[in-house]
Amino acid sequence: MVLDTDGIRVLAAPTDHRPVTPMLACRFELGGRSIVIADDTLP
């Protein structure tokens, strides 16, 4: 949990996208909706 305030939640977790490290995925939640963004630059 990165942030949980005013109905907004942000969660982050490490991901495995070798050989690129470190990698991180973030989930943003608001009003029953969510979006996930993962920083991955390889096909």
Average pLDDT of span 8-36: 92
Q: Please, which residues have CB within 8 angstroms of residue 31's CB and are 6 or more apart in sequence?
A: 7
Average pLDDT of span 21-29: 92
Exposed (0-12), middle (13-18) or buried (19+): which is 2, by Cβ within 10 Å?
exposed
Average pLDDT of span 29-40: 91
Is pLDDT at 41 greater than 70 in this prediction? no
First to last CA, the chain: 28
Query: Tell me, what's the pLDDT at 25?
Result: 92
Query: Tell me, what's the pLDDT at 22?
Result: 86
Pairing state of beta strands 8-17 and 3-5?
antiparallel
Q: Residue 43's pLDDT band (boundaries 50, 70, 90)?
A: low
pTM above 0.85, yes or no: no
